[in-house]
Amino acid sequence: MAERGESGSKVGAEIGLKTGLLDRAGAGLPFALASDQEAAWIEVIRKMDEVYADLLRYETELEDKNTALEEAQAFISSVIEAVSDVLIVCDRDGRVLQINPAAMQLLGCRSEDVAQRLLADLLDPADRRQAAALVGAQASSDVVNLEVRFVTAHGPSDLFAVNAATRHDPTGVRVGTVLTARPIGELRRAYEALHAAHSKLQRAQRQLIEQEKMASLGRLVAGVAHELNNPISFIYGNIHTLERYRKRLSNYLQALHGDADAEEIAALRRELRIDALLDDYGSLIEGTLEGATRVSDVVKNLRRLSFSKPGEMQSIDVERVLRTAALWATRAKPGHVELTFDLEPELAVMGHEGQFHQIIVNLIDNAIDAVRGQAAPSITISARRQGDDIAITIADNGHGLSEAAIDLLFEPFFTTKPVGEGTGLGLWISYGIAREHGGSLSAANRPEGGAAFVLTLPAG
């Protein structure tokens, strides 16, 4: 009967369990059973039916899981094969277990050819001392980053950036290392070329800044030379006049203390115009002292501009610097420009006087260039208090600025001047100085025509 039951089970498997074992077994018995025997036999067959159904269900689930596992394995394999980076898997002793196709192509061999070889054997001899560091990470958070070269069929490879991470089994025990490598030789060479180009650009920028400084110095010297020329010429003329007066007084004193009589002395006094000489002497001395004082003031201004300490902030008289800078800027430029000052009294800013002077000279110098060719060129210099700041405006009646120029005015090397007349660094340097002083520098077109530059600095 057991054999008949097993035969019935096989038939049930073949027909897909369309009917139960109990029904098939009961229908195929050649003889009748007692009621107790029949009940026992029916219970056995029922249990066999349940076990058989469970086995079929488990087999179906196992087949589904095997299919999913195969698909997952195929997916992982396809991903590994598609990875362009070099992938190397090592055991805990640093022996190679598997490599991906990118590593095979780099090394020029198959995965089984390098299996169980030490990782150090795959590296260039000069980099093999770093193999221990690559496979020595213990914790999952320890990621080693190194740059090495591999041994290939054609000699040492290009430089690779290698990341080494620890591999663990499901229980958390360290079982090896996974290394990923990406070529960076070309990137390194590109970076070095970029660095060289950047260094070259920095040198060119420094040269242009020095040229701009020399141009500013030239404008300053031209203004100072013109400012000094008047009092020095005045002093020079007075000294010549005083020298002539000295000779006339010497002749008169010789006659006075000599053997000449009174009539001869009187005649000589009239001839040498001693009385007029004495009357003029005081004004000559006074004029010479005034010229010397003006020269001394110019020199003092130069000392203030040149020898202020880099970190020293001081209160600066706005009106004095504006008028001095305007005078020096206009003296260094040909042609006549009408200057108008609209200044609130007793304004002061905090900063370095030399740098403040440099900004103003640059702005006025640009304004003079902007009004060149105008029928009545004019520049207005105004200063107003705005809360805790002082706003200084340099406005001209030139042609104004284009919208594109306004956006680029304070960029280095941008200039609207013809080639050879500007480096494009004056406004950039001025903008940087204003920012360093805690202020700002902006530009806009005026409704009535022309442009206006506004310098804002903290009040002193």
Q: What's the Cα-to-Cα distance from 76 to each of 62, 84, 91, 246, 392, rounded to whole Å? A: 21, 14, 20, 111, 69
Give the integer Cα–Cα distance in Å for 155 and 16.
64
Give the integer Cα–Cα distance in Å for 7 and 48.
13
Could you tell me whether strands 338-343 and 378-386 are parallel, antiparallel, or unpaired per DSSP bridges?
A: parallel
Give the integer Cα–Cα distance in Å for 441 and 430.
8
Structure tokens at 68: 């999913």
The low-confidence residues of the chain, meaning pLDDT below 70, are: 1-35, 138-141, 212-213, 216-224, 226-227, 230, 294, 297-298, 300-312, 332, 412-414, 416-425
User: Which residue is listed with tokens 């095997």?
Assistant: 66
Are 98 and 115 in contact by the 8 Å Cβ rule? The answer is yes
* Nearest one of 276, 215, 277 to 245, comparing CA atoms: 277
The 10s digit of each residue's pLDDT in 395-434 is: 999 888 888 787 777 776 667 666 455 556 678 878 888 8
Largest CA distance in the chain: 191
Instruction: Please work out, in degrees rounded to the nearest 5, the angle formed at the alpha carbon of residue 140 by the alpha carbons of 135 and 141.
Output: 105
Q: What local confidence, expressed as pLDDT, does residue 18 receive?
A: 41
Structure tokens at 437: 């002083």
Please name the residues in contact with 276: beta carbons below 8 A apart, sequence gap of 6 or more: none
Q: What local confidence, expressed as pLDDT, does residue 12 receive?
A: 42
The model's pTM:
0.42
